[in-house]
Amino acid sequence: MITAQEIHSVKLRFGIIGNSPLLNHAIQVAMQAAPTDMTVLITGESGSGKESFSKIIHSLSLRKHGKFIAINCGAIPEGTIDSELFGHEKGSFTGAHEARKGYFEVTDGGSIFLDEIGEMPLGTQARLLRVLENGEFIKVGSSKVQKTNVRVITATNVNLIKAVEKGKFREDLYYRLNTVPIFVPPLRDRGEDMVLLFRKFTSDFSERYHVKPISLDAGAQNLLMRYPFPGNIRQLKNIAEQISLLEQERDVDAQTLSKYLPTDNSRLPMTLPGHPGKSSESTDFSERDLLYKVLFDMKKDMNELKKLVLESYQNGGLNQSIIQKHSGLFEDMDNNFAPSESPESSSNYSMPLVLESQKSSNIDERDYEDEAIEDIIHEEDDNSLSLEKKEKEMILRALRKHNNKRKYAASDLGISERTLYRKIKQYEIDQ
C-alpha cells in the first residue's frame, strides 16, 4: 500500500506541485505500475504534465539504469517515422547514406516514451504492435528480424476510442497500450493547486530576475481558480511570468489579474450555425452535409436548365412564359439576366449569355455559346426520350418552315449557321 508520505516524496523528487485528489491518484497509479513491465497509456489535455508521469514510471522501475528516450510522434514526418523508431539500412531510401539505429534498438533494456501516440501513422502502428507482442522489429530496407527489450510508455491528448471508431487508430494496438491507464487531470479540476502553482512560478521568476515576488489577494485567488485555463499549466506559467514582469505593484487584486486572463473564445472549437453546443468533432460531419446539399442543389438546377433548353427548342426560342415557368434559375442573377419589368420592353427580355447567340454578331462567341448548349442537350434525361432525336426533329421542322434556308433556320433555332450545318451533317439530314 502506497502511503501519502511516499506520494509526497515523489512530488518533491519530480517537482510536482499540488494536493488535488485526482493528481494524487494519478501519481499512485504510476508508482504501482512502475515496478512492472506493463505498457502504460497516459491520457490528459495538452499542457497538463503527462511527460512527468513517464519519468516517474521509468525512474521507479527496474529499468531505471537503462536509457530513457521521449519521442513526440506528432513532430516526426510520416515518411521518416519508421526510420526514426526502427532504424534503416544504407541505401534503403534517398538520403540513406549509411545505416542507422532506431530508438527501439538504442533503448534496448530501457524505456521509451511515445507522446502524442494518436498522431502515429497506421503503418507504423502495425510495426509498434509487433514490438509490443513479440519484441521484434525490422529496419527499413532490411529483411532481418531484430529483437529488443523495451518498456513502452505512451501518452495522448485525443480520445483514442473515437480515433478507433473513425479508423485512424488500430483497435488491437489501443487495447495493447491501455494495459495500465493513467489520467492526468486538467488544471481547472485541481482547485487550490492553481494558487500553489502560480506562487511557485512567480517565486522562480523573482529569484531569476531578483525582483519581489507577486502575491494575490483573496479575490484574485478566487478569480484564478474559476478560470478554465484551456492551456493548462503552460498557460498558467505564462500568465505568472507576464504579471511578474509587467506589474509595478506586487500585490495583485482581481481587477489587475483579470487583465491577464484572456476572455475571447477564439481558441474554442467553432460550431456551425444551427448546431449550438457541438464541438469540432462534429464539424467534419456538418460540413459534409452542407457540401452534399450544395451538390444536390446544383444537380436540380442543371436538370431545370436542361428542361428550359428543351422547351425553348420545342417552342422555337425562349418566350415570356418559359422564363416565368423557370424563374428559379434566374433568382440569384443580376437584373441583366431577368425579364424586363417595363411595359415598353415586356417582349424584349435579356437572356443568359449561353442562350443569347442570335443577338450577337461575333461568330466565335456564337460558336462558344452553341457548344455550351450542345454540352447540355447531349446529356440524356432519364425521364424523356433521347434529346438527340428531339434535336433532329426540331432542325427538320425549322428547315421545312424556312424552305431549307439555313440562315433563317439557324436564327430561329438560336444557333449559328455553322453549327446548324454541322448538325445537318451529323444527323445526315437531306435538304
CATH of the domain at 227: 1.10.8.60
Q: CB 177: neighbour CB atoms within 10 A? A: 25
Same domain, 38 and 54: yes
**57 and 135 together in one domain:** yes
8 A C-beta contact, residue 18 and residue 191: no
Task: Assess contact for 74 and 167: CB atoms under 8 A.
Answer: no
Question: Does residue 395 fall inside a structural domain?
Answer: yes
Instruction: Say how many C-beta atoms besides its own lie within 10 A of residue 75's C-beta.
Output: 10
Query: Which residue would you say has higher pLDDT here, 292 or 163?
Result: 163
| Average model confidence (pLDDT) across the chain | 80
pLDDT value at residue 265: 46
Instruction: Using the Cα atoms of residue 224, residue 230, residue 232 and residue 235 in order, give the sign of their dihedral.
Output: negative
Say which residue, 24 or 397, is predicted with more confidence. 24
pLDDT number for residue 56: 96
The reply to whether 285 falls in a domain is no
DSSP state of 161: H
155 band by pLDDT with thresholds 50, 70 and 90:
very high
Domain closes at, from 152, 185, 218: 185
Per-residue b/e over 269-299, b at no fewer than 16 CB within 10 Å?
Answer: eeeeeeeeeeeeeeeeeeeeeeeeeeeeeee
- Which CATH number is 157's domain given? 3.40.50.300
Q: What is the pLDDT of residue 365?
A: 46
Give the residue, 306 or 393, on which the prediction is more confident.
Answer: 393
Residue 143 has pLDDT above 60, yes or no: yes
Ranking 31-35, 161-165, 298-302, 357-361 by mean pLDDT, the lowest is 357-361
Among residues 159, 185, 211, the one where a domain terminates is 185
Residue 55 pLDDT > 90: yes
Residues 94 and 40 in one domain: yes
Residue 375 inside a domain? The answer is yes
Helix, coil or strand: residue 274:
coil
Is residue 431 domain-resident? no
Q: Give just the sign of the alpha carbon dihedral 178, 181, 182, 183.
A: positive
Q: Are residues 94 and 142 in the same domain?
A: yes
Q: Using CA atoms, how far apart are residues 273 and 267, in angstroms rounded to an integer? A: 18
> What's the total number of domains in the chain?
3
**Shared-domain flag, residues 157 and 226:** no
pLDDT for 426 equals 83
Spatial separation of the C-alpha atoms in residues 219 and 286, rounded to whole Å: 42
Domain boundary among 142, 160, 185: 185
| 236 plus 109 within the same structural domain | no
Asked if pLDDT for residue 21 goes beyond 80, the answer is yes
pLDDT tens digits, one per residue of 252-281:
999 999 999 987 544 444 333 344 444 444
Q: Does residue 368 belong to any structural domain of this protein? A: yes
Mean pLDDT along residues 203-224:
92
Residue 170 pLDDT > 60:
yes
Least reliable range by pLDDT among 48-62, 132-146, 169-183, 328-342: 328-342
Q: Is the dihedral of CA 375, 377, 382, 385 positive or negative?
A: negative
Whole-angstrom CA distances from 159 to 42, 43, 162, 203 are 12, 9, 6, 36
Same domain, 151 and 203: no
Number of H helices, E strands in the chain: 18, 9
pLDDT tens-digit series, residues 222-249: 999 999 999 999 999 999 999 999 988 8
Lowest mean pLDDT among 62-66, 283-287, 396-400, 410-414: 283-287
Tell me, what DSSP letter sits at residue 76?
S
Same domain, 121 and 141: yes
Q: What is the pLDDT of residue 321?
A: 65
All cell numbers assigned to 28: 499512485
User: Residue 377 is part of which domain span?
Assistant: 309-426
Residue 271 falls inside a structural domain: no
pLDDT reported for residue 338: 42
398's grid cell: 425549322
383-387, Cβ contacts within 8 angstroms, sequence gap of 24 or more: 384/310, 387/306, 387/310
User: Same domain for 33 and 100?
Assistant: yes
362 and 249 belong to one structural domain: no
Q: What are phi and psi of 288, to 5 degrees?
A: -65, -40
Does residue 302 lie within any of the structural domains?
Answer: no
* pLDDT > 90 in the chain, percent: 52
Judge if 175 and 199 occupy the same domain.
Answer: no
Q: Is 63's pLDDT higher than 50?
A: yes
Q: pTM surpassing 0.85?
A: no
Judge whether 270 lies within some domain.
Answer: no
Residue 287 has pLDDT above 60, yes or no: no
Return d(Cα 8, Cα 11) in angstroms, integer: 5
Count other Cβ atoms within 10 Å, centred on residue 24: 17
What mean pLDDT do residues 325-349 have?
A: 47
**Same domain as 171, residue 31:** yes
Q: Are 125 and 132 in contact (CB under 8 A)?
A: no
pLDDT at 7 over 60: yes
Residue 388: per-residue pLDDT = 75
